[in-house]
Structure 1
Amino acid sequence: MSAFPGVKALVFDTFGTVVDWRNGIARDAKVFLARHGRADIDPHGFADAWRKRYQPAMEAVRSGRRPFTRLDVLHRENLDALLGEYGITAEEAELDWLNRAWHRLDPWPDAIPGLLRMRPRHFLAPLSNGNILLLANMAKRAGIPWDAILGAEAAQAYKPQPEAYTRTAEILGLAPGEVALVAAHNGDLAAARRAGLKTAFVLRPTEHGPDQTTDTRAEQDWEAVASSFEALADQLGC
């Protein structure tokens, strides 16, 4: 018996749910900062500071203050501003390399085994604020077995706008109730539920580091709650 009767597609939040963004960004930031003589800067703190600019940058798009702008561009603008605060300058090639750290993130250890178990019975795709090239490069490097890659450009909307969810279902030729969002973030799941999607919470208790205080438990009665992708596969009968 599946936790999702009638669901044909599973779509996944990516940053934090499928991949470990914090350690991946810190890994490449450490190299960059050492090269610029700034080993005094904690690379995980650098990753957190860069990520802190993520939601405000997307909010400018969501609010209509600027046209839809892909995440690679927003990440680069945020990186330039952050480096300005630290007084660091670098060549364009170095900045491009560091900005593409978001393309090189590693999956959580259970992610790919769980996805491989779920794939025979469900269509799998990211439902991410990431852009198509970012998500494609990430999947190619890490071997993430998506059936399609739907970046935010496809929906022309950033979560939690309802269009991010409903347009994804429409692109897949499915009703919202035939699609389930898998995410480690209660807010994302709440927005997906309001848009008519089914929901699955997967706990990622160290996404924000060892002292994480957010999303440490399921905050609503999501259709599925699991400790890992493999545990979710169990609940789906995969």
Structure 2
Amino acid sequence: MTSLKPPAHTRTLKTIPEAFVFDVFGTVFDWRGTVSTYLERTIAQKLTRKTISENKKLALTAPDSLKIFCASFAQEWRDSYKQFVATRGSASQELGTEEEYTTIDTHHYRSLLDLFEKYGLLKLFSASEMYEISKTWHFLNPWEDSTEGISKLRELGVVSTLSNGNVRLLIDLGKSSGVTFDMVLSGQLWDGYKPHPKVYIGACEVLGVGDRGAWEVYKDIHSGSDDSGEEEWRRGERGKVAMVAAHIGDLRAAKKCGLTTIYIERPGEDDDREAGEKYIRDGEDWIDMWVTHEEGGILEAAKRLAELKEI
């Protein structure tokens, strides 16, 4: 799939953000390639001529049929996640109690069971085996530019995750891949999910940007300031944090909270291609940096920002 051509009027950053918070699935890590390959290998180990002939829900006799099925299965598994957070991450949705929050790990396991049942695969695996399969999201391969790109960004500012993935999942991703973050921030810390504003605002406050304490200091320094300008000031301060993502919907929500936005286009993140085309067609201009996959992804973003340091 060809990249979207960045709009001619894309903004150019003038200053280097103090911190970078990253979407993880699809932006830093190639979930599609990793998950589909793992599923293909794991399911192949369980299939026999007998189990194939008995399964009326699958047609796995043609060449590459298992590969094609696993790629489709991985996408369906991912789509169930997107639907899961879409119903829980809107600005109007508030979780009433801690018990209502569900980790992405739990969702991945439950949705895997549903899909295995749908395709007649449940009887091939024990409960413990299915649990291990559900944890493949802890061990995704990074895009080829991610490791070096994030390392370069760490020379410019604080780099953290900001993902709907739960904290343990994100820690495992970093350890298994060699991608090093300064911090691990997750919607789990606020019992919520992106694109809810509290996740973006909470991340900025943890990073010491635009929080209540900083506002009090600002008022002391600028005597005469009153609380009437607090929200505007705090929103402006959040521009010191850049949300980095391959999903325009994620970036749009972050921008509404005041964050700087860096778009890293990735192949196959099809859910946002229509959003990207609409962004260009409508002449929008709130994305602060746009990098196509062919241009070098995260590493290219780091190079562009490093040039600002030399000015």
Q: Is the 8 A contact 2:28 2:146 kept in 1?
A: yes
Deviations 1:132-188 (A, max 9, x none): 111110100101110011122113221111111001111111122221101111111
Give 1:55's match in structure 2, choosing from 72, 75, 82.
82
Structure 2: gaps (5+ residues): 1-11, 53-59, 211-237
Do residues 8 (structure 1) and 8 (structure 2) align? no
Question: What is the rounded CA distance, in whole Å, between the counterparts of 1:57 and 1:191 in structure 2?
Answer: 17
Larger deviation, residues 193-202 vs 56-65? 56-65
Q: Is the 8 A contact 1:177 1:197 kept in 2?
A: yes
Larger deviation, residues 53-62 vs 135-144? 53-62
Q: What is the letter of the counterpart of residue 70 of structure 1?
A: T
Give 2:184's match in structure 1, choosing from 120, 141, 149.
149
Deviations 1:70-128 (A, max 9, x none): 11001111111111101212212211111011001011001111111111111000111
> In terms of Rg, which structure is larger?
2
Question: Shift of the alpha carbon at 1:33?
Answer: 1.6
Report the equivalent of 1:32: 42
Q: What is the letter of the counterpart of residue 191 of structure 1?
A: A
Question: Shift of the alpha carbon at 1:189?
Answer: 0.6
Q: Is the 8 A contact 2:30 2:142 kept in 1?
A: yes
Question: What is the rounded CA distance, in whole Å, between the counterparts of 1:155 and 1:179 in structure 2?
Answer: 18
Report the equivalent of 1:177: 239
Compared CA separation, residues 12 and 4, structure 1 to 2 (3 A): farther
Question: Shift of the alpha carbon at 1:213?
Answer: 4.4
SS of aligned partner of 1:80: helix
Give 2:165's match in structure 1, choosing from 89, 108, 130.
130
Question: Shift of the alpha carbon at 1:205?
Answer: 2.3
Question: What is the rounded CA distance, in whole Å, between the counterparts of 1:4 and 1:31 in structure 2?
Answer: 47
Question: Shift of the alpha carbon at 1:60?
Answer: 4.3
Do residues 120 (structure 1) and 155 (structure 2) align? yes
Q: Is the 8 A contact 2:174 2:180 kept in 1?
A: yes
Question: What is the rounded CA distance, in whole Å, between the counterparts of 1:149 and 1:11 in structure 2?
Answer: 9
Question: What is the rounded CA distance, in whole Å, between the counterparts of 1:204 and 1:24 in structure 2?
Answer: 15
Give 2:119's match in structure 1, choosing from 76, 86, 89.
86
Question: Shift of the alpha carbon at 1:214?
Answer: 4.3
Report the equivalent of 1:74: 107
Q: Is the 8 A contact 1:21 1:207 kept in 2?
A: no
Identical amino acids, percent of aligned pairs = 31
Report the equivalent of 1:225: 290
Question: What is the rounded CA distance, in whole Å, between the counterparts of 1:194 and 1:203 in structure 2?
Answer: 20
Question: What is the rounded CA distance, in whole Å, between the counterparts of 2:244 and 2:14 in structure 1?
Answer: 12
Q: Is the 8 A contact 2:16 2:156 kept in 1?
A: no
Larger deviation, residues 7-16 vs 220-229? 220-229
Report the equivalent of 2:234: none
Question: What is the rounded CA distance, in whole Å, between the counterparts of 1:114 and 1:49 in structure 2?
Answer: 30
Report the equivalent of 1:236: 305
Compared CA separation, residues 216 and 111, structure 1 to 2 (3 A): farther
- Across the aligned residues of Structure 1 and Structure 2, the Cα RMSD in angstroms comes to 2.2
SS of aligned partner of 1:114: helix
Higher share in helix: 2
TM normalised by structure 1 equals 0.90
Larger deviation, residues 217-226 vs 59-68? 59-68
Larger deviation, residues 77-86 vs 26-35? 26-35
Larger deviation, residues 37-46 vs 100-109? 37-46
Question: What is the rounded CA distance, in whole Å, between the counterparts of 2:140 and 2:173 in structure 1?
Answer: 6
